[in-house]
Amino acid sequence: MFRSRWQPIFTKPQQRRLMLFAGLCSILFLLATILIGALWMSPANPLHQGRDPIYRVTNGAGQGYWHTDGAQILDANNHPVRIAGINWFGFETPSFSPHGLWSRNYQSMLKEIKSLGYNTLRLPYSNQLFDQGSIPNGIDYTKNPDLRGLNGLQLMDKVIGFASNIGLRIILDRHRPDDGAQSALWYTPAYPESRWIADWQMLANHYKNNPMVIGADLHNERQSARGGHLSCATACSQSPGLLRA
C-alpha cells in the first residue's frame, strides 16, 4: 500500500517535539552568541593585547600620572588609556574594611582582580572611617596577619600599596558620610561640608606621590542642594586646593 504524497510524514506529537527542539536550539544559539561577544569584549581577551592602544593599560602600560585631554584619558606619555575597573566595597560599611577578608587574604584577592584583566580598583569609603573610634573588623587575621592592629587609613594604605605594586590603579570614592546609609548631599549634621573638604585634602596630600591613585569620586550619587546651599560643583570650586594639597 502506497502512502499518499499529501500524507504528513510526522505525527502531531512528533511535530510538537520537533518545534520544541528547534526552539531550544535557537535559545542555545542566542546564549552562545552573547557569551562569545562578552568574552571577545573582555579586557582579559589576549587577542586585544598589544593591538589597540585602548587596551594598553590592561597589560601594564599607561605609565606615570594620568590626565585628561577632552574626552580622552592619557598617560604620562600622552598615550590613550582605558579604565577597566572593579569596585571593592567595605570601607564605607560598619566593618571599616574591604569585605571578604574574613575568608581570604587581601593580596590574593588583589592578584585575582589583576589576573582577570582589570587595571583599576575603586575603593568606597565613608568619612566615619577616619574617626578614632572606627576600628576595622570582620578580618581573619590568620589569613591577613599584617593587617592586625591597623586603623582605617593604615588599612587603606595596605590595600592601595599592594594594588599599586602589582599595577592596579586606584579611584577613591567618598561613598557616604557615615557607615549607616547613602546621603543625598555630600554633608550631614554629623559630618558637615568642612569635614568632607578636610578629609579630601588629607587624602590628596597623603597619596600625592603615588601615581597609581588616579581619581576621586567626590560623593557617590549626589543630588543638588536646595534652600540656598552650594552645589557640589560650586563647593569644590570655592574650596581652593580641595584635591591639590
| 190 part of a folded domain | yes
Mark whether 22 and 140 lie in a shared domain.
no
Instruction: Establish how many alpha carbons lie within 13 A of residue 47's alpha carbon, considering only the half-sphere containing its beta carbon.
Output: 4
The angle subtended at Cα 230 by Cα 225 and Cα 236, nearest 5°, is 115
| 148 part of a folded domain | yes
Mark whether 30 and 142 lie in a shared domain.
no
Mark whether 40 and 151 lie in a shared domain.
no
Total residues belonging to the chain: 245
Asked if 224 and 178 count as a contact pair (C-beta separation under 8 A), the reply is: no
Q: What's 100's domain CATH number?
A: 3.20.20.80
The angle subtended at Cα 212 by Cα 207 and Cα 217, nearest 5°, is 70
Counting other chains too, the contacts that 60-64 makes at CB distance below 8 Å and 24 or more residues apart are 60/167, 62/119, 62/169, 64/211
Sign of dihedral through CA atoms 212, 114, 162, 165?
Answer: negative
pLDDT on residue 58: 42
Mark whether 94 and 212 lie in a shared domain.
yes
Residue 223 pLDDT more than 70?
Answer: no
Mark whether 89 and 164 lie in a shared domain.
yes
Residue 90: is it exposed, middle or buried by C-beta count within 10 angstroms (0-12/13-18/19+)?
buried
pLDDT on residue 101: 98
| 73 part of a folded domain | no
Q: What 3 state SS string does 51-95 have?
A: CCHHHHHHHCCCCCCCEEECCEEECCCCCECCCCEEECCCECCCC
The angle subtended at Cα 56 by Cα 55 and Cα 57, nearest 5°, is 95
Report d(CA 73, CA 143) in Å as an integer: 37
Mark whether 207 and 115 lie in a shared domain.
yes
| 67 part of a folded domain | no
pTM for the structure as a whole: 0.71
Task: Considering only residues 57 and 74, tell me which one the structure prediction assigns the higher pLDDT.
Answer: 74
Task: Considering only residues 237 and 99, tell me which one the structure prediction assigns the higher pLDDT.
Answer: 99
- Which tens digit of pLDDT belongs to each residue from 132-166? 999 999 999 999 999 999 999 999 999 999 999 99
pLDDT on residue 218: 92
The range of the structural domain enclosing residue 37 comes to 15-44
Mark whether 36 and 132 lie in a shared domain.
no
| 7 part of a folded domain | no
Mark whether 146 and 200 lie in a shared domain.
yes
pLDDT on residue 22: 73
Cell numbers representing residue 207 in the block:
597619596
| 124 part of a folded domain | yes
Mark whether 112 and 187 lie in a shared domain.
yes
Pairing of strands 72-74, 67-69: antiparallel
How many domains does the chain fold into?
Answer: 2
| 74 part of a folded domain | no
- Which tens digit of pLDDT belongs to each residue from 3-61? 555 555 667 676 677 777 777 777 777 777 776 666 655 555 544 444 443 334 444 45
Report d(CA 184, CA 170) in Å as an integer: 24
Report d(CA 199, CA 184) in Å as an integer: 19
| 66 part of a folded domain | no
Residue 194 pLDDT more than 90?
Answer: yes
Mark whether 101 and 21 lie in a shared domain.
no
List the one residue out of 200, 201, 172, 204 whose CA is nearest residue 186. Answer: 200
Mark whether 198 and 143 lie in a shared domain.
yes
